[in-house]
Structure 1
Amino acid sequence: MSLLRIRAGQAALAHIERNGLSPADIAAVFGASGAAKWLAIYGLDRAIFSDWLAGAPQPINLFGTSVGAFKLAGACRQDPAKALDDLAHAYIEQSYPNGFSAELIDIETQKILDTVVDTAGVAEILSHPVFRYHCGTVLAKGLMASAGETPQKYAMALAFALNGFGRNIHTSRMQRVIFADDRADHTLAGRDAYVSHRVGLNQDNLRAAVTASGSIPVVMKGVSDIPGAPLGMHRDGGLLDYHPVPGNVWQGDGLVLYPHFYSEVTSGWFDKYFFWRKTPKALLDKVVLLSPSESFLASTELGRIPDRRDFLKMQGDDVTRQRLWWDSANRSLELGEAFLEMAKSGNIASIIEPI
């Protein structure tokens, strides 16, 4: 059974066929939104950040939204293996015995964030010798910026309906904010139709930025007036950059490594409901996309990728949900081992597929 699927954009594929793949080739690593879906590749991320990229000779930009921002924060800790272990544990062990509310979800989210962006974590992230951390939020406009649940529901329903007219239909409702390591170059910046802001990260705003990056509208509170950032309500960066597309936000030399739970990249959160809308290949030209194979996912006890909706499907049965999610997380360690073996053997070029 093949565990990993490896796909590459045209430029990345040509490079790997000529030269193979080494840590020195990587200019950036991207992390996608997806909540519990991350558990399917936790072990792959663990191997990449604690082993393969640990001794990279060049600075590497990291950019993620929502859980992608959470995991990349863990990758910037002095002990990334432990940080990612703790993050997976905290995510799986969430519990909502008294039902769901924004207040209860916020309490659980803060417990999760304590594993990667506590006081020590903030200092380690901002001073990491190799990684330059970035995360994305959406600066919400109009009803989407409201603190009320009903206006948010209306705004989300309207955005969904309008999305049929194209991805750029939301430019008046959403702006991108990229919170960036001040040591980083400016290869990460908005390159599409959306207004984008760049904000320097520091000890006063990093945790708030990471929190906002995962603040799903309606079910979670947004984060307002983050120090140094544009004034207003910041919400989940995945609304605009669901699976951040390098061609929308990045221009630089080198390759973009993209550990992902899917073998496809979906630009915005609303785009996932329009299955015919594909990310243009040109925007993935330098991407190396790593994902679990369908046969591997089918071999897990859950039989698929973990999903945030499992909280509802198995409400009142945390024991079963947690057991299934732990199985997915533990099995994902096999993906990390498979990647390290392929990288060591140099045979990635023989199995890679074009995007």
Structure 2
Amino acid sequence: MAVTVSRRAMEPIEIFAGQQAYRHIAQSGIRPTDIRAIIGASGGPKWFVLSHLDRYLMQNWLPAIPHQLELIGSSIGAWRMAAYASAAPMAALEQLESQYLNQRYSARPSHQEISQSIRQLLDSFIQPNDLDQHQLKKLHIVAARCKGLSQLKQPSIQGLAFAAVAVGNLVSRRSLPRSFDRVIFQSPGGQLPVAQWDHFRTHQVPLNRANYRDALLASGAIPIVIEGVRDPVGAPRGLYRDGGMVDYHFDLPFKPEQGLVLYPHFSPLLKPGWFDKPLPWRKVHASNYSHTLMISPSREFVASLPYGKIPDRRDFERLDNDSRIRYWQTVVDRNQAIAEAFDRWVHSANPLDQVIPIETLTR
């Protein structure tokens, strides 16, 4: 007897929609002009499972959007969104991908060695004059301003300080504002569709030529691994680190007055902050994702990859340079299937058939 396999199970992507996004797709389908904001999550090399989807959106969707588009990201998500906002987005993305993928380090690299490599990476794909192009594409870079013990600079002591922060977060995420403020460096005229800010003190700082590089560097400055950024121009004084400390996958009420939020995400998993990763009970609020359409690789697709997983930062420790680069390149090559599946879904007769309520990820 023939076995019937559902279309959803065969596809390399999973598509999730909040309540408002689900209704929108049911009534009107989905078009580039529906999108008012795009989110880029933290996650380092996890992004390599999405790079062809990014290319697809840059080539096929961005040129079709006639209105202001808000691009928000933290850490690698901020770097991706900077490429989206670039005057030449495809060239910027390809340079970012190549430079990040081909990183090489000594057997036991110091944080100075890693920091210098990251600064060179950023300089390879960002241009200060890109800010002049932020007319319809508005960039929002999230960084965490450190307070208390999280300001300590010595890597050996940072571990103890951040362990204390993690213990406080284990009890309640509301303990984190004692250690971090949220700082958003944003293009002039940018308007994030956030209905109400959460319990973090949030500073919105104009993005300009003087702080652009520092904002991107700070957003990806992983504690212990990469040096933080001190006193970015125009921002509250202090030491700035990875935006994922505050907004890892984001748990903010992005609710544009019109249209939807697009979230190309590397996993069907949503965690508010970096310290919430090991906590299975700590999840985002489904109501914050009511207007969001999220695209992620399917579990079957991930299982088919080398090592049965997407890339992550531990690959730097588990694999030598050559093995890691080959593995990451294989994932990049294969993720072309993600972009092709998204294109099939967009042009399908009944796109709602493949959509999963995002509430299933937050229960």
| TM-score strictly above 0.5 | yes
Contact 2:87 2:133 in 1 (8 A): no
**Distance of aligned partners of 1:131 and 1:286 in 2 relative to their CA distance in 1, 3 Å threshold:** same
Contact 2:15 2:295 in 1 (8 A): yes
- Is the partner of 2:67 in helix, strand or coil? coil
Matched, 1:350 2:350: no
Equivalences for residues 228-307 of structure 1 within 5 A:
228-247=234-253, 252-307=257-312
Question: What are the Cα deviations for residues 7-28 of structure 1, in whole angstroms up to 9, with x where unaligned?
Answer: 0011111111111111111111
2:93 to 84, 99, 113: 84
Contact 1:33 1:64 in 2 (8 A): yes
2:68 to 59, 67, 74: 59
Gaps of 5+ in 2: 1-9, 359-363
**Following the alignment from structure 2 to structure 1, what is the Cα–Cα distance between the partners of residues 205 and 138?**
14
Gaps of 5+ in 1: none
1:18 to 18, 22, 27: 27
Question: What are the Cα deviations for residues 118-149 of structure 1, in whole angstroms up to 9, with x where unaligned?
Answer: xxx23224423431101100110011112222
Q: TM-score if structure 2 supplies the norm length? A: 0.92
In the other structure, the counterpart of 1:136 is 142
**Following the alignment from structure 2 to structure 1, what is the Cα–Cα distance between the partners of residues 276 and 129?**
36
> What is the CA distance between 1:188 and its match in structure 2?
4.9
**Following the alignment from structure 1 to structure 2, what is the Cα–Cα distance between the partners of residues 269 and 67?**
13
In the other structure, the counterpart of 1:75 is 84
Structure 1 outlier segments of 4+, above 6 Å: none
Letter in 2 for 1:112: L
> What is the CA distance between 1:250 and its match in structure 2?
6.1
Letter in 2 for 1:308: R
Matched, 1:164 2:170: yes
The sequence identity of aligned pairs, in percent, is 36
Give the count of matched residue pairs: 349
Letter in 2 for 1:172: R
Contact 1:144 1:151 in 2 (8 A): no
> What is the CA distance between 1:53 and its match in structure 2?
2.3
In the other structure, the counterpart of 2:330 is 327
Contact 2:13 2:342 in 1 (8 A): yes
> What is the CA distance between 1:342 and its match in structure 2?
2.0
Contact 2:33 2:64 in 1 (8 A): no
Contact 2:145 2:241 in 1 (8 A): yes
1:184 to 186, 190, 203: 190
Contact 2:73 2:140 in 1 (8 A): yes
1:8 to 17, 20, 38: 17
271-280 vs 28-37, which deviates more? 271-280
- Is the partner of 2:20 in helix, strand or coil? helix
**Following the alignment from structure 1 to structure 2, what is the Cα–Cα distance between the partners of residues 289 and 346?**
19
**Distance of aligned partners of 1:346 and 1:90 in 2 relative to their CA distance in 1, 3 Å threshold:** farther
CA RMSD across the alignment: 1.6
> What is the CA distance between 1:98 and its match in structure 2?
4.0
Contact 1:66 1:213 in 2 (8 A): yes
**Distance of aligned partners of 1:251 and 1:191 in 2 relative to their CA distance in 1, 3 Å threshold:** farther
182-191 vs 25-34, which deviates more? 182-191
Contact 1:27 1:252 in 2 (8 A): no
**Following the alignment from structure 1 to structure 2, what is the Cα–Cα distance between the partners of residues 215 and 28?**
24
Contact 2:71 2:138 in 1 (8 A): yes
Q: TM-score if structure 1 supplies the norm length? A: 0.94
